A and B are shown apart, each in its own frame.
Chain A
Amino acid sequence: MSNKKPLSTLYTVAAVTASLVVLGCASIDTAQSLDAMTQQMVKDSFRDQGIAKVDRLQQDESNAACSAADVSGVALTDAKAQGIEAANLKTVQWPADGKFVGDWKEGEKIAQNGRGMTWTDKPGSANGGNCYNCHQISREEISFGTLGPSLYNYGKLRGISDPNSAEARAIFEYTWGKIWNAKAYNACSGMPRFGHAGILGEAQVRDLVGLLVDPQSPVNR
């Protein structure tokens, strides 16, 4: 067995060389260089079409941080998440007249409507809320998605009996804020920021709050 030692040495050398090669490759493709490569490919791959322009791919701080967390699999630190939530909360426009609750019947129509803002949509047309795509809302509509939580009995479960009470007002405010800018309450929420992004206007948000909180709405009956 005189050749045993030289052979194992040879293996060791080979293994070290192999790991150096691996290390060498790894150092070429760092996370940063892959990020940069992605940015360049995104820039080269997309073009404007109709109302959908390439500037839509410019991420704000919230989206950039949440996308990076998704890629790395490492959640945001509490401090970072709170910072994002605080910044988004500042963007919420509260109803000018202090009226949070609109017409649930109109709200239902907006919740049903999934249209708007694609490259096949015309500029200036009113957008839908897409709500049923992701949420159960009324019990009558059985075609609902499950990406978001069920909102059936939303007001009832929160015990809204007197819409003029202070407790009720706090719930109205939260509901308004959540629809206006969901990332004010959950930094990496998957829900669109309907008011903040200009998808829905103030009157539409008011009607959606009505759909969710009005005791007469099918959501709560």
Chain B
Amino acid sequence: MRQTNPAAPLAAALLLVWCASALAQKSTADGIAEYREMLQDGNPAELFEMKGEELWKQKRGPRNASLERCDLGKGPGVVKGAFVELPRYFADTNKVQDLESRLLTCMQAQQGLDAAKIAATPFGKDEQKNMEGLVAWVSSQSKGMKLALPQGHAKEKQMYEVGKRMFYLRGGPHDFACASCHGADDKRIRLQDLPNLTKAKGAAEGFGSWPAYRVSSGELWSMQRRLNDCFRQQRFPYPGYASDVTVALGVFMGVNGQGGMSTAPAIKR
């Protein structure tokens, strides 16, 4: 029989009350900042990074190939610094692609995996589980670097403009746009601070911190998954994985945050 200590729940409750009153002395934002700092000491995203690095080098798929020749924009196999320049234009696909869209291209072209099937797989399952590791590792190889999305190609400029239009598109039963929550400084939903994605500081903080490990769900969320859940809460229909509007939004946010620091993979509540 398992012994229970009747004093334990009481002690826990007392501790909770003490913590709550101690926290109440500070502003909510201070408390949350402190909590995040404590979390930084051991970011479980590192486990995903390790898995991602292994996956990058591992021979997989029908072609039994690794991703080590994948061109993320800085040449085949160059990972360091690639993430902060995405999304960008790729000549071989004639498309502007974000990290996940580009990984799909490489997984199909080099490993022979079915990109469309992976795109249709629910988050957190099968190959999408592997995607979590890959985005964690690739983004970690640009951690601390400045966002530097190229805007030289006409299609990169177009995607910025499309992203801007998507950002302000009011729709759904609630008339929400991305801008409803992320278009002004110092706003919150309940107690959750909302970055202003139209300005350099907020865009760098918001865009530059995904992928991230989410403590509340114990999952590693990519930018695609972050956007997907934004659209869910916006009461919009379902955005296709790595679809053009999601890439366009990435360009809009990333260019707005140009020069800000990439902190991905970060840790979130």
* Contact residues in B for A48 (Cβ distance below 8 Å): 237-238
Q: With A and B bound together, what is the CA distance between A54 and B158 in angstroms?
A: 24
Q: With A and B bound together, what is the CA distance between A130 and B157 in angstroms?
A: 37
Is chain B's interface secondary structure helix, strand, loop, or mixed overall?
Answer: mixed
CB 8 Å contact bits of B21-38 with A (1 = contact, 0 = none)? 000000000000000000
Q: With A and B bound together, what is the CA distance between A199 and B174 in angstroms?
A: 8
* Contact residues in B for A119 (Cβ distance below 8 Å): 232, 237-238
Q: With A and B bound together, what is the CA distance between A134 and B165 in angstroms?
A: 24
Interface membership of A167, Cβ < 8 A: no
* Contact residues in A for B173 (Cβ distance below 8 Å): 56, 117, 192, 197-199
Give B235-266 interface residues, CB cut-off 8 Å to A: 235-240, 243-246, 248
Q: Check B237–A49 contact: CB distance below 8 A.
A: yes
Interface membership of B19, Cβ < 8 A: no
Interface membership of A13, Cβ < 8 A: no
- The interface on chain A, measured as residues whose beta carbon lies within 8 A of the other chain's beta carbons, has a size of 48
Q: Check B170–A38 contact: CB distance below 8 A.
A: no
- The interface on chain B, measured as residues whose beta carbon lies within 8 A of the other chain's beta carbons, has a size of 43
Q: With A and B bound together, what is the CA distance between A183 and B158 in angstroms?
A: 32
Q: Which residue of B lies closest to A114 (CB)?
A: B190
CB 8 Å contact bits of B211-254 with A (1 = contact, 0 = none)? 00000000000000000000011011111100111101000000
Interface membership of A158, Cβ < 8 A: no
Q: Which residue of A lies closest to B232 (CB)?
A: A118
Q: Check B189–A37 contact: CB distance below 8 A.
A: no
* Contact residues in A for B246 (Cβ distance below 8 Å): 45
Q: Check A117–B174 contact: CB distance below 8 A.
A: yes
Q: Check B190–A133 contact: CB distance below 8 A.
A: yes
Q: Which residue of A41, A120, A147, A193 is within 8 Å of B162 (Cβ)? A: A41
Q: Which residue of B lies closest to A147 (CB)?
A: B187
CB distance from B235 to the nearest CB of A (A): 5
Q: With A and B bound together, what is the CA distance between A150 and B180 in angstroms?
A: 17
Q: With A and B bound together, what is the CA distance between A63 and B183 in angstroms?
A: 16
Q: Check B235–A29 contact: CB distance below 8 A.
A: no
Q: Which residue of A lies closest to B181 (CB)?
A: A147
* Contact residues in A for B91 (Cβ distance below 8 Å): none
* Contact residues in A for B77 (Cβ distance below 8 Å): none
* Contact residues in A for B179 (Cβ distance below 8 Å): 70
Give B150-182 interface residues, CB cut-off 8 Å to A: 154, 157-158, 161-162, 164-166, 168-177, 179-181
Interface membership of A52, Cβ < 8 A: yes
Interface membership of B188, Cβ < 8 A: yes
Q: With A and B bound together, what is the CA distance between A62 and B170 in angstroms?
A: 9
Q: Which residue of B lies closest to A182 (CB)?
A: B175
CB distance from B233 to the nearest CB of A (A): 6
Known: A71-B164, A117-B174, A119-B237. A146 touches B187 (CB 8 A): yes
* Contact residues in B for A58 (Cβ distance below 8 Å): 171
* Contact residues in B for A18 (Cβ distance below 8 Å): none
Interface membership of B41, Cβ < 8 A: no
Q: Check A145–B190 contact: CB distance below 8 A.
A: yes
Q: Check A46–B238 contact: CB distance below 8 A.
A: yes
CB 8 Å contact bits of A48-87 with B (1 = contact, 0 = none)? 1100111011110011001100110000000000000000
CB distance from B227 to the nearest CB of A (A): 11
Interface membership of B191, Cβ < 8 A: yes
Known: A120-B232, A134-B189, A145-B189. A45 touches B239 (CB 8 A): yes
Q: With A and B bound together, what is the CA distance between A67 and B227 in angstroms?
A: 20
Q: With A and B bound together, what is the CA distance between A35 and B236 in angstroms?
A: 19
Known: A34-B162, A63-B170, A71-B165. A52 touches B175 (CB 8 A): no
Q: Which residues of A pack against B, CB within 8 Å?
A: 25, 28-29, 34-35, 37-38, 41-42, 44-49, 52-54, 56-59, 62-63, 66-67, 70-71, 117-120, 130, 132-134, 143-147, 183, 190, 192-193, 197-199
5 smallest A-B Cβ distances: which pairs? A49-B238, A45-B243, A70-B168, A192-B174, A63-B170
Please name 17 pairs of A and B residues whose Cβ atoms are closer than 8 Å in the assembled complex, sorted by A.
A34-B161, A34-B162, A37-B162, A38-B248, A41-B244, A41-B245, A42-B169, A45-B244, A45-B246, A46-B237, A49-B238, A52-B238, A118-B235, A145-B192, A147-B181, A197-B173, A199-B174
Q: Which residues of B pack against A, CB within 8 Å?
A: 154, 157-158, 161-162, 164-166, 168-177, 179-181, 183, 186-192, 194, 232-233, 235-240, 243-246, 248
